[in-house]
Structure 1
Amino acid sequence: MAGLSLAYYLSQSPLRNRSILILDSELKNRNDRTWCFWEPDGGSATYTSAFDSILFRKWKTVSFHGTTYAGALDMGDYQYKMLRGIDFYAFVRNELNKHPTIEFQQATINRIKDTPQGGFVIADDEPYLADYVFDSTFALKLDQSENHNLLQHFKGWVITAEKPCFNQNQPELMDFRVAQHGDCRFMYILPFDEKTALVEFTLFNDQLLTDAEYEAELLQYIDHFLDTGGYKICETEYGVIPMSDESTEENHAEHIIRIGTSGGFTKPSTGYTFQRTQRYLQAIVKNLAETGKPNRRSSWFAGRFKLYDSIFLNVLEKHRHNADDIFTRVYAENHHRVFTFLDEDTRFIDELRLFATMPFLPFVYAFFDVLRRKAIG
């Protein structure tokens, strides 16, 4: 996703006539994933509006079911959007095929190295040299004790029910009516129509489950809370996303730039990646076109969101407060403010108002623990 998005933005920029090679070990010719994100409605959508024409679904409201609140959330000017992988791949490939200087090659990356002459890549034992290499293959080690390293892992089924049982105008962002077992566990429902939806079981912790355990939770939830009248499973989706505040070096070498999750584009406290990736890549292309350098610029004050993420991960990792209650407070008492906050677009005064709705002592303890761990590290 990151590599194709970058190539797309380059193709729409003054750099469109530069020679670009896209290396990928997969053909990307099947629907292997789904991305969801929120952004402002209409003409104010500035980050991913390029893909509005291929959205599979979009909604003006979302539903939430927590400990003390159940119902719709006011998203303000935001819309919640769903994009299927296969539609994204086909759209971008079609656009890139219009440019003869952009080439695709299916190959496995063997090595990436910075050299005085440029970024050096070996793929399927063939060498390549470029002014810049944009790398989305680097994997975080997730082994530094001063950091917080959780996982967001999920398994979902696209099911077709015999009876209409889904509200097609309102996806279920989080439904905490599942046993928590000391973790953060919830169901996530994306309705395609009244009878078809993606029903997904999601966890935030550091231990993956067996297939049987994921499926048992899905079966139990569908049987207890969805009046399907019987259903069939049409597709299965599984994924693991790092929720880590481990430092990533986006510009770790002169000619190699890490992008996507490997570049730190995943929001550590939520696992959402798509919209942040679009925002960051647009900044990279803008700087590359204007200055010849791809480095993104960021103010020191914007770094406060990394601290917020670390504090939140600390609360989850140390089980300082029940996760279902935390999320209930955040979403039920902040509504559209929480979406702006998670996009890192809030003013500091708005952040203080959001923090006032959180359980005080658990987050204070987490704050000082984060400072201690960073100091020791």
Structure 2
Amino acid sequence: MKKYDFIIAGGGMAGLSLAYYLTQSPLGNHSILILDREQKDRNDRTWCFWERGTGPFESILFKTWQTVHFHGTTYTGPLELGEYRYKMLRGIDFYSFVLAELAKYPNVERQQATINRIKDTPQGGFVIANDEPYIADYVFDSTYSLNLDQPDNHNLLQHFKGWVIQTEKPCFNPSLPEIMDFRVEQHGDCRFMYVLPFDEKTALVEFTLFNDKLLTMEEYETDLRQYIDRFVDTGTYEIRETEYGVIPMSDVATQENPSEHIVRIGTSGGYTKASTGYTFQRTQRYLHDIVHNLVETGKPTRRTPWFQKRFKLYDSVFLNVLEKHRHPADDVFTRVYVENPRRVFTFLDEDTRLTDELRLFTTMPWWPFTAAFFDVIRRKMFG
């Protein structure tokens, strides 16, 4: 049985990011094994996020924007991001960059394999993949599936299908993406479109929903076609690429450190922000903390200050509003973005002060959020 310093179970965004940060740190000469079922040789997803300043993957960003467009219930127009930039990173560009960097390190091994089992032992984290055993000082696991079948928690899904389309007519403004367009039938849910232009004739058009029920592929595609036909003057168009994904929006309690030698990362570790489904930027921040702690203390455990945990309460309240249909979601998002310019991005990054948060809360519909707050407290106290 081969021994490693670190095993990364799951070579997706979280696993590859961690491997990259480890190689860029004083731990860069440690032995690392990455296990994943896929080769990561196709553009299977797109990450969009806002960020201040220059990030670690700035050189491979596909697009960046300093202004975005919003189409809500009471406002249609641009949203200025201030010191933030809205950034778009294509999966294939990320995979290609990180894998090329990791290939420079002979101590980093990557295997295409199905992970059969992960468990803790006194000797370290133990992994069986393709029926072969491996052990390491620490196993970083992004494959663990959260238990979302817990009635005392809020368990919604962010699910989406997108098309990259090439149009006959120049119909997109490359400098102005549409981050939320609520001009689609809501059906009591939260449903909107993204339009992320590459150039005047090419864009990613993505249909996104926040609810607890997936659609059929035909239903996603029907809404995509109807939106393009109604609101985009394409002439004719061709579908060049497709993407589909499901992200949990849940306040289920997660165990980032379930045992001494196993650390869960990415969605498995609770890195997805429950109220928005955003994962990429939070994952980068938390992985930085893990690597820093490994370098400084030899242990990867992250510590969340107790007062920082208030954001989990905010997420639960927001999910409760959506789950119980206490107020139309399109109007909630309109209030959040339009009445809190720039502050909203800092708030969603969990970098605001309490005074800023209280100002934001005053822009929300009072009774639905108050009812949601007391329902969340009841669930947490009495189950």
Aligning the two structures, in what range does the TM-score lie when normalised by the shorter sequence?
Answer: over 0.9
> After superposition, what is the alpha-carbon deviation per residue over 1:212-246, rounded to whole angstroms, capped at 9, x for unaligned?
11111111110110011111111111111100000
Select which of 272, 278, 282 maps to 1:266. 272
Select which of 18, 25, 34 maps to 2:37. 25
User: Aligned with 2:286: secondary structure?
Assistant: helix
Select which of 315, 323, 327 maps to 1:317. 323
Structural mapping, 1:62-73, within 5 Å: 62-73=68-79
What is the percent sequence identity of the aligned residues? 76
What's the counterpart of residue 36 of structure 1? 48
CA drift at 1:50: 1.5
Structural mapping, 1:1-377, within 5 Å: 1-41=13-53, 45=54, 49-377=55-383
CA distance in 2, matches of 1:293, 1:231: 53
User: Aligned with 1:246: secondary structure?
Assistant: coil
CA distance in 2, matches of 1:121, 1:249: 18
Structure 2: 5+ residue runs without aligned partners?
1-12
User: Aligned with 1:131: secondary structure?
Assistant: strand
> After superposition, what is the alpha-carbon deviation per residue over 1:277-335, rounded to whole angstroms, capped at 9, x for unaligned?
00000000000011000011221000000000000000000000000000000001112
Contact 1:153 1:204 survives alignment (8 Å)? yes
CA distance in 2, matches of 1:212, 1:105: 36
CA drift at 1:145: 1.0
Letter in 1 for 2:23: S
> After superposition, what is the alpha-carbon deviation per residue over 1:30-87, rounded to whole angstroms, capped at 9, x for unaligned?
111111111013xxx4xxx110000011101111000000000011100000001111
CA distance in 1, matches of 2:294, 2:325: 43
CA distance in 2, matches of 1:376, 1:212: 41
What's the counterpart of residue 10 of structure 2? none
Contact 1:2 1:260 survives alignment (8 Å)? yes
CA drift at 1:18: 0.7
User: Aligned with 1:142: secondary structure?
Assistant: coil
Letter in 2 for 1:117: Q
Letter in 2 for 1:364: T
Give the length in aligned residue pairs. 371
User: Aligned with 2:199: secondary structure?
Assistant: coil
User: Aligned with 1:21: secondary structure?
Assistant: strand
Runs of 4+ more than 2 Å apart: none
Letter in 2 for 1:268: A
CA distance in 2, matches of 1:130, 1:94: 24
CA distance in 2, matches of 1:17, 1:208: 44
CA distance in 1, matches of 2:221, 2:295: 48
Structure 1: 5+ residue runs without aligned partners?
none
CA distance in 2, matches of 1:140, 1:304: 22
CA drift at 1:375: 1.4
Contact 1:178 1:221 survives alignment (8 Å)? yes
CA drift at 1:273: 0.5
CA drift at 1:99: 1.0
CA distance in 1, matches of 2:217, 2:34: 34
CA distance in 2, matches of 1:376, 1:255: 33
CA distance in 2, matches of 1:185, 1:229: 25
CA distance in 1, matches of 2:93, 2:245: 19
CA distance in 2, matches of 1:200, 1:17: 41
> After superposition, what is the alpha-carbon deviation per residue over 1:138-173, rounded to whole angstroms, capped at 9, x for unaligned?
011101111000001111111011111111101101
Letter in 1 for 2:104: K
Contact 1:146 1:376 survives alignment (8 Å)? no
Q: CA RMSD of the aligned region, Å?
A: 0.7
CA distance in 2, matches of 1:51, 1:245: 29
User: Aligned with 2:256: secondary structure?
Assistant: coil
Letter in 2 for 1:38: W
CA distance in 2, matches of 1:19, 1:226: 51
Letter in 2 for 1:143: D
Letter in 2 for 1:174: M
CA distance in 1, matches of 2:230, 2:43: 29
CA drift at 1:376: 2.1
